[in-house]
Amino acid sequence: MTITLQRILEPDGRLVGEAPKLSESELRALFTHMLRVRVLDERMLKLQRAGRIGFVGTAKGLEAAIIGSAYALEKRDWLWSGLREGGAAVMRGLPLAEYLAQMYCNANDTAKGRQMCNHFQHKGSNYPSWSSVIGTQISHGVGAAYAAKVRGSGEVHAIYFGDGATSSNGFHSGLNFAGVWQAPCYFVCIDNGWAISVCNREQTAAESFADKGAAYGVPGVEVDGNDVLACYRECKRALDRARSGGGPTLIVLKTYRMLGHSSSDDPSKYRDQAEVDAWAARDPMDRFERYLLGRGLLKAGDRAMLEQELTTEIDAEIHRQEAAPPMALKTLVEDVYADVPRHLRLQYNKFIAVAERLGHAQKGDGAFPL
């Protein structure tokens, strides 16, 4: 099969394809959202190195893929995420305070500190909780899209995952069910080249991950994932197609994970620096900046100034999260079920009696009634 890579912006910022209809202020907003992803990434890594947070799933190099694709969505649409789409959640309404509380896994975290770092959720902008299990969210998104079709609620479900997830059960069952049901959803595979240490050539014998859609009757598109305009345009097409009842699309955004899989990973053990350097020359931020400079939508020095503004905003929020109150111990047994069942109340009450005796309990940690 021959799949043509969709590209609008050359790495030098030249326009070579049909640009999507975006206003000047929208183009500038896109740039700011991308820059926020990069600044957040850098700040989170520093916090991790300083021992303040435990884990960061890095996004450097993926800013165009994450932001350009998600910019296509309307507020009512859902984004089913993988590890690295937190920046898209912030763009779509996840408050920075909640983002950071989740990175700190503290008492301000809407998930009550139950997930490890970098597992965001935001009900207000339809960004469901993600588990660390690869590919399981794919069939969730398809089922939710089926529900949208049955209920006539009108929203579209954008389902994100990485190149490694194309080998998971969820990918095959998800795409297959979506094709059969013609569910109002589309799939965004952010192919960043590496599933931890396994490169995409070892993930599949297919020429392109986009080829895999054909087996399920789902058209596949391959896009330059470092070209924010192409990412936006192709996702908008898939979104419109899904919304109008045209069925799902598989979009593969080809990009490159510039850093390790996470703060715990050393990529120098499994890949050549020359490959990383080659991709650095295709940096999505630099490319879009060149385009905007060329159009006079940015001036020299704007990026540095914006970066400073974003850093100040993030740092202020970091200070607030550092002062979060301790986690209530009762959360140990809450939210397993809608109500805390008797056996969990008993388990907790035994535990809290010991904690109280040793002086480890806090205000509000009292026993459950039986």
Under the criterion CB under 8 A, does residue 125 sit at the interface with another protein?
no
Candidate list 114, 241, 243, 271; residue touching another protein; CB under 8 A: 114
Please give the residues from 76 up to 105 whose contact with another protein meets the rule CB under 8 A. Answer: 78
Under the criterion CB under 8 A, does residue 177 sit at the interface with another protein?
yes
Under the criterion CB under 8 A, does residue 369 sit at the interface with another protein?
no
Site stretch for another protein (CB under 8 A), options 123-131, 265-273, 274-282, 284-292: 123-131
Candidate list 174, 213, 248, 267; residue touching another protein; CB under 8 A: 174
Residue 14 has φ and ψ, to the nearest 5°, of -75, 140
The answer to whether residue 319 is catalytic is no
- The residue from 7, 122, 157, 257 that is catalytic is 257
Shortest separation between residue 41's beta carbon and another protein, angstroms: 23
Candidate list 112, 241, 243, 271; residue touching another protein; CB under 8 A: 112
Q: Rounded distance, CA 94 to CA 126, Å?
A: 10
Beta-carbon contacts of residue 302 (< 8 Å; ≥ 6 apart): none
Of residues 25, 26, 31, 38, the one with CA closest to residue 311: 38
Candidate list 49, 342, 350, 360; residue touching another protein; CB under 8 A: 342
Residue 43: strand pairing partners? none
State both tokens at 328.
Answer: 């209530």
Residues contacting another protein: total by CB under 8 A: 46
Under the criterion CB under 8 A, does residue 140 sit at the interface with another protein?
yes
Residue 191 has φ and ψ, to the nearest 5°, of -85, 95
Under the criterion CB under 8 A, does residue 217 sit at the interface with another protein?
no
**Left, alpha or beta for 134 (phi > 0: left; psi -120 to 50: alpha)?**
beta
Give, for 195, the enclosing helix (H) or strand (E).
strand 194-195
Secondary structure (3-state) at 293: helix
Residue 158: strand pairing partners? 79, 186
Shortest separation between residue 127's beta carbon and another protein, angstroms: 10
- The residue from 49, 76, 270, 360 that is catalytic is 270
Shortest separation between residue 68's beta carbon and another protein, angstroms: 25
**Cβ nearer to another protein, comparing 211 with 334:** 334
CB of 120 within 8 A of CB of 81?
yes
**Cβ nearer to another protein, comparing 64 with 144:** 144
Q: What angle do CA 43, 47, 48 make, to 5 degrees?
A: 115
Candidate list 131, 268, 273, 312; residue touching another protein; CB under 8 A: 131
The answer to whether residue 261 is catalytic is yes
State both tokens at 356.
Answer: 């109280």
Q: Rounded distance, CA 34 to CA 28, Å?
A: 10
State both tokens at 290.
Answer: 């060149």
Shortest separation between residue 237's beta carbon and another protein, angstroms: 23
Shortest separation between residue 271's beta carbon and another protein, angstroms: 29
**Cβ nearer to another protein, comparing 147 with 306:** 147
Angle formed by the axes of helices 302-322 and 96-104, nearest 10°: 60
Q: Rounded distance, CA 237 to CA 15, Å?
A: 19
**Cβ nearer to another protein, comparing 60 with 140:** 140
Q: How many residues are listed for the chain in this entry?
A: 370
Contact set with another protein (CB under 8 A): 78, 109-112, 114-115, 119, 121, 123, 128-129, 131, 133, 136, 138-148, 150-151, 153, 169-170, 172-174, 176-177, 180, 331, 334-338, 341-343
Active site residues: 257, 261, 270
